Amino acid sequence: MKLLLVYSVRNVWARSCTTALSIGGLALVSLILLAVLMLGNGLNRALIESGSPDNVLLLRKGATTEIASGIYRDQAHVVRMLAGIAQTSGGELLAIPELVVLISLAKSGAETPANVVVRGTQPEAFRLRPQVRLIAGRAWQQGTTEIVIGAQIAKRFLLGGIGSHLRVGKREWLVVGIAEAQGTAFESEICGDVDQLMAAYGRDSYSSLTLRLPDPSAFQRIDDAIGSDTRLLLQVKRERDYYREKSVTMATFIRLLGFTFTLIFAFGAILGGTMTMYGAVASRTREIGMLRALGFHPRQILSVFLLESLMLGAMAGLLAVGAGTALQFVTLSTMNFSTFSELAFRLTLTPASALITMAFALSISMVGGIPPAIRAARLPVTAALHTPGR
């Protein structure tokens, strides 16, 4: 039945103008869907993947964010005493105390400044977060007021890069490096020495402690030991879960908004596709009558027109995915609702979202193509043969 395929392809091609228009419409709607999916992927990447499955975050009981949490030095000391925490090759415990504060920074091209997370930490933090990598300069030195800024901060804020100065708390800090973090939230942060940052703010407590699990099963052990210790009053969370909880509200909001729009536009696209195909059926009525007179079955007529509609959908889907590849170079920023800080993320195209988009484009062209195809199949042969026109 290759000839019938050729027949469909050439008919789609022959109506190049209407075809292009309806493909364009279908492609735009598919692109909206794809963009929403890519947005979700990007946010997931930025938020959820910031957390590593091997890391455990300790926060004060009741605190839902690092900003709102506080852990005293002696609490941190008790935690360090507990067994089961992974050690570095030097024999030191990987339990990193961090202080998280927010500062207001002037943003390039924006009138109002935005909040940025400053994370006081220790150099070992690079081992806890292997996704963080210096792309320029060097790491800060312990005990100094040197800082490393995330790549997104360097790109989007008026800072001046390596060698420039920045006031955080009561101190003046020197930018010595720029770090990348595979699109995760750390790219939108600034980090430096934890003790210096505490001094700059006159604080005597950390925000959090991050531990590396020696093995995945150790989580339960640590949770039992620390979570139930009444002196400590700390909660134990997998870093992944912490970031996932933070992203849930935002991701749900964006998806809901996006899918609502997609749904509304999808109706439009379906109607557009339906009109196109009704037009095709109307202009080929005699042709359909002739095919029936030759002995073609109504079912074969139906499949020819469905096929044509599906081809429109397939081309629209491919176009949308093509445009989606270009969208990958778009970086967006949003307010991270849980920290009220600026979070930059990139639209991310995954094979799954490309497949979903293709399936979507095919389904709406299918749905739109069914009524005209049924009409074509049901045309009374004698009347169809009698129709004026080509």
Partner 1 sequence: MGPSGSGKTTILNLVAGLDRPTQGTIHAAGLTVSQQKEADLARWRARYIGFVFQFYNLIPVLTAAENVELPLLLSKLTRRERFTHVQAALGLVGLSDRIHHYPRQLSGGQEQRVGIARAIVSDPTILLADEPIGNLDRSAAQAIMALLTRLHRELNKTILMVTHDPQAAGYAQEILHFDKGKVD
Measured from the CB atom, is 273 or 289 closer to partner 1? 289
Using the structure block, give the residue that is written with the tokens 């997609």.
Answer: 262
> Per rule CB under 8 A, is residue 303 in the interface with partner 1?
no
What is the nearest approach in angstroms of partner 1 to the Cβ of residue 286? 6
Measured from the CB atom, is 8 or 44 closer to partner 1? 8
What is the nearest approach in angstroms of partner 1 to the Cβ of residue 53? 57
Name residues whose C-beta falls within 8 Å of residue 110's C-beta, 6 or more positions apart in sequence.
none
Residue 215: burial class (beta carbons within 10 Å; 0-12, 13-18, 19+): exposed
Question: Which of 367, 258, 225 minimizes the C-alpha distance to 306?
Answer: 367
Write the binding mask 281 to 300 for partner 1: x where contact by CB under 8 A, - elsewhere.
-----xx-xxxxxxxxx---
Measured from the CB atom, is 12 or 26 closer to partner 1? 12
Q: According to DSSP H, which parts of the chain are helical?
A: 2-14, 16-47, 73-81, 125-128, 151-156, 194-201, 218-222, 239-283, 285-294, 298-327, 351-378, 381-386
* DSSP per-residue letters across 308-339: HHHHHHHHHHHHHHHHHHHHTT-EEEEEETTT
> Per rule CB under 8 A, is residue 76 in the interface with partner 1?
no
Name residues whose C-beta falls within 8 Å of residue 156's C-beta, 6 or more positions apart in sequence.
107, 108, 333, 342, 344
Measured from the CB atom, is 11 or 44 closer to partner 1? 11
> Per rule CB under 8 A, is residue 3 in the interface with partner 1?
yes
Measured from the CB atom, is 324 or 372 closer to partner 1? 372
Measured from the CB atom, is 255 or 286 closer to partner 1? 286
> Per rule CB under 8 A, is residue 390 in the interface with partner 1?
yes
**d(C-alpha 253, C-alpha 232), whole Å:** 36
Question: Which of 309, 280, 312, 310 minimizes the C-alpha distance to 376?
Answer: 280
Token couple for 81? 């005493």
Q: Which stretch binds partner 1 (CB under 8 A): 1-9, 23-31, 35-43, 149-157?
A: 1-9
Answer yes or no: are the C-beta atoms of 289 and 257 closer than 8 Å: no
What is the nearest approach in angstroms of partner 1 to the Cβ of residue 373? 18
Site for partner 1 in 370-389 (CB under 8 A): 381-382, 385-386
Measured from the CB atom, is 158 or 383 closer to partner 1? 383
**d(C-alpha 224, C-alpha 233), whole Å:** 12
Residue 112: burial class (beta carbons within 10 Å; 0-12, 13-18, 19+): exposed
Measured from the CB atom, is 18 or 341 closer to partner 1? 18
Measured from the CB atom, is 1 or 89 closer to partner 1? 1
Number of residues that bind partner 1 (CB under 8 A): 25
What is the nearest approach in angstroms of partner 1 to the Cβ of residue 22? 18
Answer yes or no: are the C-beta atoms of 102 and 339 closer than 8 Å: yes
Write the binding mask 4 to 33 for partner 1: x where contact by CB under 8 A, - elsewhere.
x-xx--xx-xx-------------------
Measured from the CB atom, is 155 or 286 closer to partner 1? 286
What is the nearest approach in angstroms of partner 1 to the Cβ of residue 362? 23
Beta pairing class for 205-206 and 71-72:
antiparallel
What is the nearest approach in angstroms of partner 1 to the Cβ of residue 317? 24
What is the nearest approach in angstroms of partner 1 to the Cβ of residue 284? 9
Write the binding mask 249 to 288 for partner 1: x where contact by CB under 8 A, - elsewhere.
-------------------------------------xx-
**d(C-alpha 2, C-alpha 75), whole Å:** 75
Q: What is the CA radius of gyration of the chain?
A: 30
Write the binding mask 27 to 66 for partner 1: x where contact by CB under 8 A, - elsewhere.
----------------------------------------
Q: Which residues bind partner 1 (CB under 8 A)?
A: 1, 3-4, 6-7, 10-11, 13-14, 286-287, 289-297, 381-382, 385-386, 390
